[in-house]
Amino acid sequence: MTSTILEMRDITKTFPGVKALSNVNLSVEEGEIHAVVGENGAGKSTLMKVLSGVYPSGTYDGQIIFQGQECHFKGIHDSEHKGIVIIHQELALVPMLSIAENIFLGNERARHGVIDWDANEARTAELLKKVGLREDPKTLITHIGVGKQQLVEIAKALSKEVKLLILDEPTASLSEKDSQALLDLLLEFKRQGMTSILISHKLNEVNRVADKVTVIRDGRTIETLPRKEISEDRIITSMVGRSLDDRYPPREPNIGDVIFEVKDWSVYHPIHAERQVIKSIDLKVRKGEVVGIAGLMGAGRTEFAMSLFGRSYGRRISGEVLLNGKPVDLSTVGKAVQNGVAYVTEDRKTYGLNLIDHIKHNVTLANLGGVSSGGVIDDMREMSVANDYRKKTNIRASSVYQLTGNLSGGNQQKVVLSKWLFADPEVLILDEPTRGIDVGAKYEIYTIIARLAAEGKAIIVISSEMPELLGITDRIYVMNEGRIVGEMAASDASQEKIMRAIVRGEGKAS
Amino acid sequence: MSTDSAPAPQSGTAEDVKQGSRVAVSALTTNLREYGLIIALIVIMLFFQYTTSGTLFKPVNLSNLVQQNSFIIVMALGMLLVIVAGYIDLSVGSVAGFIGALAAMMMVIWPLGIFSNPLVVSIVCLIVGGLIGAAQGYWIAYHRIPSFIVTLAGMLIFRGICQALLGGGSSVGPLPDSFKALSSGFIPDVIGPLTLIPPTVNAAGKTILGSGLTLHMTTVVLGLIAVLAYAYFGFRTRRKRELHGYEAEPFTLFVIKTLVGSALALFLVFQFATYRGLPIVLLVMGVLISLFVFVTKRMTIGRRIYAMGGNAKAAQLSGINTERLTLWVFVNMGVLSALGGLIIAARLGQAVPAAGLGSELDVIAAVFIGGASAMGGVGQVIGAVVGGFIMGVMNNGMSIMGVNVDWQQVVKGLVLLGAVIFDVYNKNKA
């Protein structure tokens, strides 16, 4: 009764040094809701970018066949022309324009360049009715909530006569109620005959609406499950089912007393003052211990770490931090650094490095006092420090005078690490320390972490890659929606256990 | 003063001659880019020396050149830090005008007794300048109001106060001679002049003005000390680097660089010495330039300003108090604007409502010609100073040539655009 609307065959996409997708196959039937699931970084979004032409034809290998025709999309415009519309996780609306202006942005109903606002607004009202959003088309985007903004995005997609709607983590930032409404809308579209692809890691949602599930892991298609075989357990096993080999350096944990303790830590959103982002977290780290924080994107892990580190995130922060049993003031970054706490950001380019300056100046930035006296920098001392850390962390560069903007991701990460190692902290918080770097560099970073633990530092590793946490930590906290929803020794933990804690925590939190 | 910051990334262990010469060539091209600006200044000077039939380098004209442009360069030092930090300050010309008016009122009109002493007035004015900088910096640093807007407001406000203080359109003067010396004075010759060639005496028994050759010895001695210090510190830094195993540039290049720099400096010193010696304002400027080179290259506060301009978020997350740093950058700018205002008033001998009008644009242009980036994080003190002199020499040279003021502006605009295009082109090529 159905025919295949989309077929992606043997899609392979490589970035310098990384194979993001290898021989991925995806086949979508007309009129179904097809879920694509996988861990963060498994390649889901890359696959969708290939499909929508963000990565133009020629930059990948493989075939895309849409409605029986082979397609070579040169850009988003081409794929939208064919009726493939993607709604990204980060909404692409202009906040200070109205709903109608956003829906017809770049596609305005106009005669000789003069916009016919009445036509636009009338059509907008129609579209809003379809998606069940009761707002005036003239309302500014900034005045409506995220859930409604998501609906505007969908209305915008409908305005383009969409044949295949792709939703990338559509409910990631929605409340439970808004999520349910959105899923209902998807089901309604299905009744009207529309095809959609739903990318999600919320398995209960997938379970509820999907007709088929394709699991992607490490850039490969693992399997496609038909409706009757879909169950959370089945998907979890498929999502994480890979073996742990010797991708992690061996280490002998030598764990001492608790040196870092966080009590009842709560944080509110910096803009939406009523939204509590971190909900009374308790956490302990011992000397020489590597503690992991697992969780999905948006669980609040980065927000938690940054609010600890000099209140760099959030408002109305409450709670207590103890260092070696004594309360410690971390209210500014300067104080945090002085008291021996360091935070290595997940976003090294935006928050970690001065990309237009060279390695030497970046390495000493967090501890200029260590290479100067009376405010005057000792050039020679700085030079030996920079060279020393370049050797210690194995930064591959022609000299310490190379601009950090010209280094590879792995080497940039080593520069950021060097900066914080030179600040000599007792407690080191590493946020996604291996994001976007190749396997070899990952191993080097793990080795550095193991060495620091052996030196008696307390280390917190935030990571979305569960095998990584299982491989390098001693104990794992699981976070979801701003809470700690699980704690386990790494030796008892498994990816299934962590996933279960997250999935179970999801229901509890709402 | 050491000026070599980023040596070419090659080791100095070149064994064979072939590799050695390749290293030299590569070092030369790196340095050519670095010193391109100074070479451009020299070319421009030679051009005007030729087109003005030798007037440009005449001792009298050199003194004029320095006195006319010193306030631009003094303010450019502050502006460099502002721009490197990632901001802009449009108010400097108005602040300078206001401070000039304030100084004149304090010295000439208001009955302040001992407080109308030029030295006291100058100190008070510098403090007021710092307070103005703090007032503007406060909004920029702690309330994140764009510096363009805050200082645009400041530009209007302080020009208005300047005119109001002077009571409408009138000027206030004359200012005391001891104050005017700041701009038009020369350092006293404590050693005494040395006559090399006695002046010619004509038949009537009168000496012919400008004939003969008498040297202002204090100037000569100071100049020699400065040049020797320059060579000594350059050599010492180089030795220190060598001892630690870091080699920068081939020895010959270093020697040529030092010799050319010294020769140029000695030539200028000699020209000043044949006239009335070093202008006081040149000495003030020299001290300030050295101070700012030191602060930007060697001090932690300088490093932090560059880091903040390069990536403010990363700087903040490295424990740098970016708010306080921003405030200080603007306080510094305020003090230097005040000094600029005092220099203008001292040169004119009176305070006028239009003092410093439009000079913010010359100051900003000097910094950008000097290679600073409008995005922040990039720029050198020496660059801004050379940029200021390029503007000054062009003003001066074209005036002597009799080029119409309107066309002078056109040429200056083209030079600014050309310099920045050249910079961007170079960066993309690198």
The predicted model scores a pTM of: 0.78
The verdict on A399 touching B (C-beta cutoff 8 Å) is: yes
Domain boundary (A424, A441, A473) is at: A424
> Considering only CB atoms, which chain A residues are within 8 Å of B7?
401
Same domain, A210 and A357: no
Helix axes B405-429, B17-51, angle to 10 degrees: 170
Asked whether the predicted pLDDT for residue B134 surpasses 70, the reply is: yes
Same domain, A180 and A327: no
Question: Nearest CB to A361: which of B301, B303, B378?
Answer: B303
Predicted pLDDT at A18: 63
Q: Return all residues near B247 (Cβ < 8 A) that are at least 6 apart.
A: B7, B11, B12, B13, B241
Domain boundary (A424, A444, A470) is at: A424
To probe the interface with A, which of B13, B317, B427 has the most A CB atoms within 10 Å?
B317
Work out the minimum CA distance from A435 to partner chain B, whole angstroms: 18
Predicted pLDDT at B265: 87
Work out the minimum CA distance from A351 to partner chain B, whole angstroms: 4
Token pair listed for A428 = 């080191």
In this complex, do A401 and B7 lie within 8 Å of one another by their Cβ atoms?
yes
To probe the interface with B, which of A341, A348, A357 has the most B CB atoms within 10 Å?
A357
- Mean pLDDT lowest among A36-45, B252-261, B291-300, B338-347: A36-45
Name beta bridge partners: A332: none
Chain B residue with CA closest to A351: the answer is B314
> Considering only CB atoms, which chain B residues are within 8 Å of A402?
9
Could you list the residue range(s) of the whole structural domain that residue A303 is in?
244-340+426-510
The rounded distance, in Å, linking the Cα atoms of A45 and A37 is 10
In this complex, do A368 and B313 lie within 8 Å of one another by their Cβ atoms?
no
Q: What is the mean pLDDT of residues B302-319?
A: 94
The rounded distance, in Å, linking the Cα atoms of A260 and A341 is 9
The rounded distance, in Å, linking the Cα atoms of B292 and B269 is 22
In this complex, do B298 and A309 lie within 8 Å of one another by their Cβ atoms?
no
> What is the greatest pairwise CA distance in chain B?
80
Question: Nearest CB to B301: which of A357, A365, A375?
Answer: A375
Domain boundary (A190, A205, A240) is at: A240
CATH at residue A139: 3.40.50.300
- Please give the angle made by the CA atoms of A366, A367 and A371, to the nearest 5 degrees: 140
Q: What is the mean pLDDT of residues B54-68?
A: 88
Same domain, A43 and A140: yes
Predicted pLDDT at B32: 56
Same domain, A179 and A315: no
Work out the minimum CA distance from B145 to partner chain A, whole angstroms: 18
In this complex, do B319 and A355 lie within 8 Å of one another by their Cβ atoms?
no
Residue B326: other Cβ atoms inside 10 A: 24
> Considering only CB atoms, which chain B residues are within 8 Å of A338?
319
Predicted pLDDT at A417: 93
The rounded distance, in Å, linking the Cα atoms of B195 and A257 is 83
How many structural domains comprise chain A?
3
Token pair listed for A197 = 């692809």
The verdict on A332 touching B (C-beta cutoff 8 Å) is: yes
Q: Where in chain B is the domain with CATH 1.10.3470?
A: 52-185+279-430
Token pair listed for A200 = 């999600």
CA quadruple B50, B51, B57, B59: dihedral sign: positive
The β-bridge relationship of strands A315-323 and A258-268 is antiparallel
Query: Comparing A28 with B24, which gets the higher pLDDT?
Result: A28
The rounded distance, in Å, linking the Cα atoms of A408 and B332 is 38
Name beta bridge partners: B3: none
Chain A residue with CA closest to B307: the answer is A354
Query: Comparing B211 with B147, which gets the higher pLDDT?
Result: B147
The rounded distance, in Å, linking the Cα atoms of A187 and B256 is 79
The rounded distance, in Å, linking the Cα atoms of A89 and A170 is 6
> Considering only CB atoms, which chain B residues are within 8 Å of A377?
298-300, 303
Name beta bridge partners: B279: B186
To probe the interface with A, which of B239, B294, B311, B424 has the most A CB atoms within 10 Å?
B311
> Considering only CB atoms, which chain B residues are within 8 Å of A380?
240-241, 244
Q: Is residue A215 situated within a structural domain?
A: yes
Task: Give the residue from A157, B363, B43 showing the smallest Cα distance to A170.
Answer: A157
Which pLDDT band holds residue B429 (cuts at 50, 70, 90)? Answer: low
Q: What is the mean pLDDT of residues B221-236?
A: 89
The rounded distance, in Å, linking the Cα atoms of A277 and A480 is 10
Name the A residues in 406-445 with CB < 8 Å from any B CB: 419, 423
Q: Are A7 and A205 in contact (CB under 8 A)?
A: no
> Considering only CB atoms, which chain A residues are within 8 Å of B427?
none
The rounded distance, in Å, linking the Cα atoms of A48 and A24 is 11
> Considering only CB atoms, which chain A residues are within 8 Å of B377?
354, 356-357
B388: exposed, middle or buried (C-beta count within 10 Å: 0-12, 13-18, 19+)? buried
Same domain, A230 and A258: no
Predicted pLDDT at A494: 87
Q: Is residue A346 situated within a structural domain?
A: no
Helix (H, G, I), strand (E, B), or coil: what is residue A6?
strand
Which pLDDT band holds residue B3 (cuts at 50, 70, 90)? Answer: very low
The rounded distance, in Å, linking the Cα atoms of B218 and B210 is 20
Same domain, A190 and A166: yes
* pLDDT, tens digit (0-9, with 9 covering 90-100), for B236-289: 888 887 877 776 677 888 888 889 888 888 988 888 888 888 899 999 999 999
Same domain, A112 and A179: yes
Work out the minimum CA distance from A376 to partner chain B, whole angstroms: 4
Same domain, A285 and A328: yes
Q: For chain A, how big is the Rg over CA atoms in Å? A: 25
Could you tell me how many CB contacts below 8 A there are between chain A and chain B?
91
Q: Return all residues near A419 (Cβ < 8 A) that are at least 6 apart.
A: A352, A362, A363, A364, A365, A366, B318
Which residues of chain B are at the A interface, by a Cβ-Cβ cutoff of 8 Å?
Answer: 6-7, 9, 240-241, 244, 246, 298-301, 303-304, 306-307, 310-311, 313-321, 373, 377-378
To probe the interface with B, which of A347, A365, A377, A403 has the most B CB atoms within 10 Å?
A365
To probe the interface with A, which of B300, B308, B325 has the most A CB atoms within 10 Å?
B300
Task: Give the residue from A8, A148, A16 showing the smallest Cα distance to A79.
Answer: A8
Q: Is residue A345 situated within a structural domain?
A: no
Asked whether the predicted pLDDT for residue B8 surpasses 60, the reply is: no
Note down pLDDT in tens along chain A; length 510 residues: 468 899 999 999 887 656 788 899 999 999 999 999 877 667 888 898 899 888 888 889 999 999 988 999 988 888 888 889 988 877 788 888 899 988 888 777 777 778 888 888 888 998 998 888 888 889 898 888 878 888 898 888 888 888 999 998 887 767 777 888 889 999 998 998 899 999 887 778 888 899 999 998 878 888 898 888 888 778 877 776 644 456 788 888 888 899 999 999 999 988 888 888 899 999 999 999 999 999 877 788 999 999 999 988 888 899 999 999 999 999 999 999 999 999 999 888 889 999 999 999 999 999 999 999 999 999 889 999 999 999 998 888 888 888 898 887 788 999 999 999 999 999 999 999 987 776 667 888 999 999 999 999 999 999 888 888 998 999 999 998 889 999 999 888 888 888 888 877 654 443
Task: Give the residue from B182, B148, B424 showing the smallest Cα distance to B284.
Answer: B182
Same domain, A328 and A439: yes
Helix (H, G, I), strand (E, B), or coil: what is residue A165?
strand
Question: Nearest CB to B317: which of A312, A358, A368?
Answer: A312
> Considering only CB atoms, which chain A residues are within 8 Å of B244?
380, 383-384
Within 13 Å and on the Cβ side, how many CA atoms surround A479? 29
Same domain, A142 and A262: no
The rounded distance, in Å, linking the Cα atoms of A282 and A207 is 32
Residue A440: other Cβ atoms inside 10 A: 9
Work out the minimum CA distance from A390 to partner chain B, whole angstroms: 15
The rounded distance, in Å, linking the Cα atoms of A373 and B281 is 32
In this complex, do A356 and B378 lie within 8 Å of one another by their Cβ atoms?
yes
Cis amide leading into B174 (omega within 30)? yes
Q: Which residue has the tokens 């200082």?
A: B151
The verdict on A376 touching B (C-beta cutoff 8 Å) is: yes
Work out the minimum CA distance from A401 to partner chain B, whole angstroms: 7
Average pLDDT taken over every residue of chain B: 86
Predicted pLDDT at B26: 53
| Residue type for position B258 | T
The CATH class given to the B52-185+279-430 domain equals mainly alpha
Work out the minimum CA distance from A413 to partner chain B, whole angstroms: 13
Token pair listed for B85 = 């930090």
Q: Return all residues near A301 (Cβ < 8 A) that are at least 6 apart.
A: A293, A295, A431, A462, A479
Task: Give the residue from B126, B67, B190 showing the smallest Cα distance to B335.
Answer: B126
The verdict on A309 touching B (C-beta cutoff 8 Å) is: yes
The verdict on A286 touching B (C-beta cutoff 8 Å) is: no
Same domain, A378 and A491: no
Chain A residue with CA closest to B7: the answer is A401
The verdict on A347 touching B (C-beta cutoff 8 Å) is: no
Chain A residue with CA closest to B295: the answer is A376
Q: Are B372 and B126 in contact (CB under 8 A)?
A: no
The verdict on A396 touching B (C-beta cutoff 8 Å) is: no
Predicted pLDDT at A507: 45
Which pLDDT band holds residue B18 (cuts at 50, 70, 90)? Answer: very low
Same domain, A458 and A494: yes
Name beta bridge partners: A293: A462, A477
Number of H helices, E strands in chain B: 15, 2
Q: Are A215 and A243 in contact (CB under 8 A)?
A: no
Query: Comparing A1 with B32, which gets the higher pLDDT?
Result: B32
A233-252: b (≥16 Cβ within 10 Å) or e: eebbebbbeeeeeeebeebe
In this complex, do A354 and B304 lie within 8 Å of one another by their Cβ atoms?
no
Task: Give the residue from A214, A169, A167 showing the smallest Cα distance to A186.
Answer: A167
Q: Is residue A347 situated within a structural domain?
A: no
ipTM tops the 0.85 cut = no
Whole-number Cα distances in Å, B151 to A508, B28, B146, B257, B381: 53, 41, 9, 40, 22
Q: What is the mean pLDDT of residues B285-295?
A: 94
